[in-house]
Structure 1
Amino acid sequence: MLEDLLISPAPPVSARNSPTLDVLVIGAGPVGLACALEAQRQGLRTAVIDKGALVNSIVGYPTNMEFFSTPELLEIGGYPFPTSGYKPLREDALDYYHRVAVAEKLDLRLYERVVRLEGEAGDFTIETEKGEIHTRAVVIATGFFDVPNRLPVPGADLAHVSYYYKEPYPHVGREVVVIGAKNSAAKAALQLTRAGARVTLLVRGPEVSESVKYWIRPDLLNRIAEGRIKAHFSTQIVGIRPNAVDIRTPDGPLSVRADFVYALTGYRPDYPLLAALDVPIADDEARTPLHDPATHESARPGVYLAGTVCGGLHTSRWFIENGRHHAQLIAARLREVVSSGS
């Protein structure tokens, strides 16, 4: 039982019946859970809120997706992450993080969207779709996977266009366009092809990104070279129609048949939510939320940032592997603040 594997156990603290929390964590992903359990171990009354499911981003990952990281790099709270393989699958992670949340008796408030934040450090009121929550401090750990970079072209929101890839099986024998040149697009194109779909890969740049993992990129390039995957490089998407994608190539305009379109063009932080929480954003290329890297307190006192959201549009700066360590920094700082009464 995972409950028996707790390292440095602390008495659980229930915030459910408390009129005022010490900490409300927004985001029930791995980093958000890490922040909550570390704050709770400091004796702080803590709850976690999320507009979706527990570890909602991982729920949205492709079926049986294999993480690039080994299990120990995904662990939180000192709980070992047992897996049967060298690298865990999506389903392993879903089970692991659920078990950690249960073992820590975290106060989870799922499928409850945050609307706005009012007040000041030590006396915040969070308005949600279901009511109000009073808390002394707020931690934002919302990641970036919930907000795709939508294509700014006509037809980008048609029913057969998706910004999330799940599995290849519904597309056997169909024409599928995959837009993108990084890991997600590469893996989707390969899976779809091997499942029997006819795949065309559309890439904005001149080649498949060098950042694609070293064991995936040669596989994709070989499938393109042998003609099993069609590919168009240095391509601009002009528009999407019910059965085709219109593109502009170095050789002129072209229409590519498409029964389904996967626009795997990346994701971004939830900037409308950050605006509703009144978190100042830097005037830089990455639109980085302003925060102190030592304490992770944002430029709005009493509001802290953890995980990927800290990097703004530079979404590859922070992952579970390094973002989880923000939890201990934030929890230690919050304990100091609560102890001092400031």
Structure 2
Amino acid sequence: MTIEIRTQEEAQQVLHSIRYVEDYRFPQKEMEALLAHPEQSVPIMLDKLKNVYQNPRKYATKDHFDMGVAYSYYLLSQLRATRAFPIMLDLLTLKYAVLDKIFGDDLTEACGRVLASTYDGDWEKLKSLMENEKAYPFARGCATQAMEILVLEGKLDRLEVLFYFEKLANRLAKTSLPGSHQEVVITEIVLHAENLYPAEISETIYQLMDAGKVDEQMIVKEDIEDSIARPMEKVLRDAHNNFTGQPLDDAIGELKQWVCYVKPAAPLKVLSESAYADENEENEPLEWAPRVVKKQAVSQKVGRNEPCPCGSGKKYKKCCGT
């Protein structure tokens, strides 16, 4: 049955009714209704995000995470609601403990895409997050990812962004110490510059790497050299084909894959302690078995720039190949 939303009050009721996950049910009809009636639903979802920013402790300390928050920034992204852009920028300046409670893995997996999807054309606002030294470094990285996507979408100029990356990375390098938060931001800059074909700033990148300002577990000189050796059009196309280089266009399709909606299969058979000890000398808990299987699945030979076989959508070198 289709859900009709005629007023903002009804949109509020729909969003409120799906704030918690119950019995693994995915609220597809409710989300479809919110998407179908943006005039009524967008103001309500914007208010939800504003409330989080104004009362972060309330949302960060709840026993049950309010899924209405995630639904809001996903749906607003698909609707290209530019009024969400400054609100998301404000949210990403909150302290890490709050960000972790509110966004979880989405802090690094989705928030950059949300910023790109809701971008209102004000590049200075986006740069202000990248340059905010009080912000959590991976939140600053969301702005870097958003800039990459906006270049790939043709909304920002590639060279202008690359030269901005170069200037900021040099500035940060002058004030950073080994293992500092500044180096996290520099590494994020280099990672996203690589996806934009970094030939014009490659010498600066090499200098940063030689000075130990870039995390070599994330990217090394060979990665930059490999990118530059390929045709620029292919580098940009490959980056855009990766979901991390795309705006967020299918909120329902992405959210319904969340593990909280996947009903678990029959419980794993638990071996007796003595039987298990015979099979595993290190006595590793049985629950770790799925992770072992995953690691075996990606042990095949995979190019560092190819999609990771684990299905994350990331390049192998930035996922299981790190």
- TM bucket normalised to smaller: under 0.3
Greater length-normalized contact order (CA 8 Å, ≥ 6 residues apart): 1
TM-score, length-scaled by structure 2: 0.26
Higher relative strand content:
1
Structure with more of its chain in helix, by fraction: 2
Structure 1 length as normaliser, TM-score? Answer: 0.25
